[in-house]
Amino acid sequence: MRHTYREIDACGVKVALKLLAGKWTPIIFYHLGAGPLRFTELWHEIPRVSKKVLVVQLRQLEEAGLVARSVHNGFPPEVSYQLTPKGAGLVPIMQSLDQWAMTHITEAVHIA
């Protein structure tokens, strides 16, 4: 069953919001938005996250088609992550959200 365009509009936004809702998603996007990173580089950029949790979050983003994982053979093998075109399309939107928050959300600078 197809719905009216109004429902579709609101629904697309909801699907997009849901994809971004992971606890570490914004900061992962922030760092991968600048280019591909090895797993350990990304992990070092993100404070207070365990490797295990970061792997799980990255896997979810990979399953959503937002992030691509590459394994580079070698010893030890290296794993790197980068945004897919689908994921990269969200970077300017994240930046707009950040800009909006900077203007309107004063408490954003006081998180624990």
Cβ atoms of residues 14 and 75 within 8 Å: no
Which residues are CB-contacts of 69 (< 8 A; sequence separation ≥ 6)? 58, 62, 79, 80, 81
Cβ atoms of residues 16 and 10 within 8 Å: no
Residue 69 Cβ vs its own copies, minimum distance, rounded to whole Å: 19
Binding mask 58-97 for its own copies (x = CB under 8 A): -------x--------------------x--xx-xxx-xx
State the residues that interact with its own copies by CB under 8 A. Answer: 1-3, 6-17, 20-21, 26-27, 30-31, 45, 47, 65, 86, 89-90, 92-94, 96-98, 100-105, 107-109, 111-112
